Amino acid sequence: MTSKRLWVSFVLAAVTLSITFSLQPDQQKVLLVSFDGFRWDYLYRVPTPHFHHVMKYGVHVKQVTNIFLTKTYPNHYTLVTGLFAENHGIVANDMFDPILNKSFSLGHMDIYDSEFWEEATPIWITNQRAGHTSGAAMWPGTDVKIHNSFPTHYLPYNESVSFEERVAKIIEWFTSKEPINLGLLYWEEPDDTAHDLGPDSPLMGPVISDVDRKLGYLIQMLKKAKLWDVLNLIITSDHGMTQCSEERIIELDQYLDKDNYVLVDQSPVAAILPKEGKFDEVYEALAHAHPNLTVYRREEIPERWHYRDNSRIQPIIAVADEGWYILRNKSDDFMLGNHGYDNELAEMHPIFLAHGPSFRENFTKEAMNSTDLYPLLCHLLNVTAMPHNGSLRSVQDLLSAAAPRAGPYGPYTQSPPLLQGRVPPGENEQEASYAYFLGVSLGSIIVIVFFIIFIKHLIRSQIPVLPDFQAEISQPLLQA
Ligand SMILES: [Zn+2]
């Protein structure tokens, strides 16, 4: 073999290796956006041209079943972990953990205790462990230290930071010298105003229009940064919203002695911790108290809610019918709009739209579970999923022909879906993708073998030259 041929072989081997790497969809960029409380049918309430633009050139899922209870923190953590509340541990916006003897309260922004979050590992940590970088603008939980990590870039939560400033940060991170491949962006509307006005208020129209304008702004900025065609944009929400009324209030003080229990969470799912020895008394007093209130002992909570197997779920929960409100008494705060009800109710369901190189165009899907987003994200980001309750196969039809295809559990998501039950500690670490290592190993072996052959040939071809060379340099020595 001539050295020219060997050079060609070496170059071919190097190309093989680089193709092996380039076939991995490492370049996939994903931006996950949540507009809090954007109910699925708001899309048709007023003209929403920017949402409809995404639907026309991307995908749209009409009904997304989120998780019980349909509150902000439990559902945002599900979107980034694929787990039901009993598995990820953020079981409500307001919690008490009897083992840690600690409380968690969104109302008081007392949410920064890492231990509440560490029953799961969110996508940004998994993404970073795989060697990628992530950036988060106010997404719930992204400014909390979880398993000793923060997102690579993040903004500490501050609701007064404008949407435009949040977008600017996201764009900056996607276009920096070491660009992120995962961005998470959160906006508080239309949830905030719908709590105050009620979703049925005609004043909600302008609020929805404004969110649509904000999406338009995001699209415009992505186009300006030349990201629009190369980035997978996923727009979703945590829950919907339903109209409440002061005519539909259930006052716990009418039925319960307030010295007998602690009210950990209030409405529409009252989380009740009876004082010692008072369980039966509290349960009996409440069980048949009101026709629009269903009361469960923890072990009786319906299986379909996957809301039982966690010590942060209190011994008694009382669930209000849709549109009903639970208060201790009428001096407690009341809101005209609320969510948190049964996740089977359509009014609790959020939106789901996506656009980008990995998604089909103008494709509508009837239904999905919000737990399915997580394996989809892992697939797009080329990271191995942690155990989860979702299914990549259920949402694979959203992907374009150009997107990487999924195997039994997806080529990059080796862990099987976790159908129910808690994640046992220590089972979280998964093997990296077999396909990836097989490709890299084969490519490396080819290069090493060719390199050894090349070096051997080079040495052999140099041998006859060496005696002359040595003879020349030895001459002066001989003369000396
Ligand atoms: Zn919310």
Tokens 């390199």 correspond to 451
Domain 249-338 bears CATH identifier 3.30.1360.180: yes
Q: What pLDDT score was predicted for residue 422?
A: 45
pLDDT digits (tens, 9 = 90+) for 313-344: 999 999 999 999 999 999 999 999 999 999 99
Report the 10 Å Cβ neighbour count for 216.
15
| CA atoms of 345 and 341, how far apart (whole Å) | 8
350 close to 84: Cβ distance less than 8 angstroms: no
DSSP H or E stretch at residue 100: none
Spacing, Cα 93 to ligand 1 middle (Å): 10
Q: What pLDDT score was predicted for residue 19?
A: 45
107 close to 365: Cβ distance less than 8 angstroms: no
Lowest mean pLDDT among 17-31, 39-53, 64-78, 224-238: 17-31
Lowest mean pLDDT among 183-187, 278-282, 453-457: 453-457
Spacing, Cα 416 to ligand 1 middle (Å): 29
Q: 3-state class of 147 per DSSP?
A: coil
- For the cut 90, the answer to whether the pLDDT of residue 461 exceeds it is no
| Segment 454-480 mean pLDDT | 45
DSSP H or E stretch at residue 93: none
Spacing, Cα 173 to ligand 1 middle (Å): 25
Question: Is the overall model pTM greater than 0.85, yes or no?
Answer: no
* Partner residues linked to 269 by β-bridges: 319
Question: How far is CA 199 from each of CA 191, 195, 408, rounded to the nearest angstrom?
Answer: 9, 8, 41
| End-to-end alpha carbon distance in the chain | 43
Here the tokens at position 195 are 């709590």
325 close to 244: Cβ distance less than 8 angstroms: yes
Average pLDDT, the chain: 87
| CA atoms of 325 and 312, how far apart (whole Å) | 22
Report the 10 Å Cβ neighbour count for 21.
12
| Segment 194-202 mean pLDDT | 98
| CA atoms of 319 and 410, how far apart (whole Å) | 37
pLDDT digits (tens, 9 = 90+) for 376-426: 999 999 999 999 999 999 999 999 986 765 544 443 344 444 544 444 333
Spacing, Cα 131 to ligand 1 middle (Å): 31
Spacing, Cα 319 to ligand 1 middle (Å): 18
Task: Provide CB contacts within 8 A for 156, sequence distance 6+.
Answer: 143
Spacing, Cα 65 to ligand 1 middle (Å): 15
CATH number of 25-83+120-243+344-403: 3.40.720.10
Helices assigned H by DSSP within 85-203: 85-88, 114-117, 123-129, 163-174, 191-197
The single residue of 20, 48, 65, 72 carrying the catalytic annotation is 72
72 noted as active-site residue: yes
Following DSSP, what letter does each residue of 14-40 receive, concatenated? HHHHHHHHHHS-TT-EEEEEEETT-BG
Closest CA to 369 of 422, 424, 301, 306: 306
Report the 10 Å Cβ neighbour count for 22.
11
Q: Would you kindly state where each structural domain of the chain is located, as residue ranges?
A: 25-83+120-243+344-403, 249-338
Q: 3-state class of 283 per DSSP?
A: helix
Beta-sheet strand order (sheet of 134-137):
153-155, 134-137, 182-187, 29-35, 231-236, 352-355, 59-65, 363-369
- For the cut 60, the answer to whether the pLDDT of residue 11 exceeds it is no
Task: Provide CB contacts within 8 A for 392, sequence distance 6+.
Answer: 372, 375, 376, 378, 379, 406, 409, 410, 413
Here the tokens at position 149 are 């990590």
- For the cut 80, the answer to whether the pLDDT of residue 453 exceeds it is no
